Amino acid sequence: MAAHASTANTDFYLFPPHDLPVTLSILFQTASVCVVDKPSGMAVHRGYDNDGPFVLQTLRDQLGRHVYPVHRLDRATSGVLVMALDAETAGQLGAAFTEGQVEKQYVAIVRGRPPAEGLIDHDVPKSEDGERVRAVTAFRTLGTSGRFSLVECRPLTGRYHQIRRHMKHLSHPLVGDVNYGKGDINRLFRSEYGLSRLALHASRLTAPSVALDVAAPLPWDFAEALGKLGLLDLYPAP
């Protein structure tokens, strides 16, 4: 299923050209928690602009029971997504996220050559049109090939489009970002490296307070692009 988005500054596939799965890959499950590998292009919740499958309903159908979201990933982002299987656990996990007890690790392909590492402390809107609030992201550059780099990001706060906004703030926007990226760079990358999606993957999530440590494998299209760049061996092992 391909979906296009274009603006004056961007022109790129927002979602992957292949069909979304009818079942989700389960990375970890207990009686109270289910962690899935969310594919790029699948929204967590049903939205006004989403008439396709979404994670909540897909997982409910798959497990035959109610599930409770405790955090979110952007529709175009892939990777680790945690769901609670009962209200009490949902409250515990929600508190862990709110209180900063969860460490989230992402990998992204960005334009240009960022510094070797750094801490971005830059206010961003709380919601799409909301007030600006403090946002902090730690990052390190894993490798560079030509005009592109592989970056590991660890958001220390959980703000709307935080990593995407912060990398744009550094003048190193994510590849495939229709909101904050560059259309000419996106088209070039799609043509040369074949990635038709946002180059952002939630690779690992750790929550010591609830004994949770789960990693998601690198999606095939992301891995293929890194292979063509000669950066695949630099992807951090879980």
Give mean pLDDT, residues 218-224: 96
pLDDT tens-digit profile of 95-123? 999 888 999 999 999 999 999 999 999 99
Q: Could you say which of 11, 37, 49, 74 is catalytic?
A: 74
Lowest mean pLDDT among 59-73, 125-139, 166-180, 220-234: 125-139
pLDDT bin (cut points 50, 70, 90) of residue 19 is low
Domain ranges within the chain, ordered by starting residue = 9-231
pLDDT of residue 236: 83
Query: Hey, what amino acid is at 194?
Result: G
- The chain-wide mean pLDDT, for the chain, equals 89
Residue with tokens 């220390």: 156
Kindly report whether the global pTM for this prediction surpasses the value 0.95: no
Nearest to 109 by CA among 77, 68, 132: 77
pLDDT bin (cut points 50, 70, 90) of residue 223 is very high
Cβ atoms within 10 Å, residue 211? 9
pLDDT bin (cut points 50, 70, 90) of residue 7 is very low
Q: Which CATH class is domain 9-231?
A: alpha beta
**Spatial CB neighbours of 232, under 8 Å, sequence gap ≥ 6:** 223, 226
**Spatial CB neighbours of 158, under 8 Å, sequence gap ≥ 6:** 71, 97, 104
51 is catalytic: no
pLDDT of residue 27: 98
Cα(226)–Cα(68) distance, integer angstroms:
34
pLDDT tens-digit profile of 164-190? 999 999 999 999 999 999 889 999 999
Residue with tokens 């004056």: 8
Query: Hey, what amino acid is at 188?
Result: L
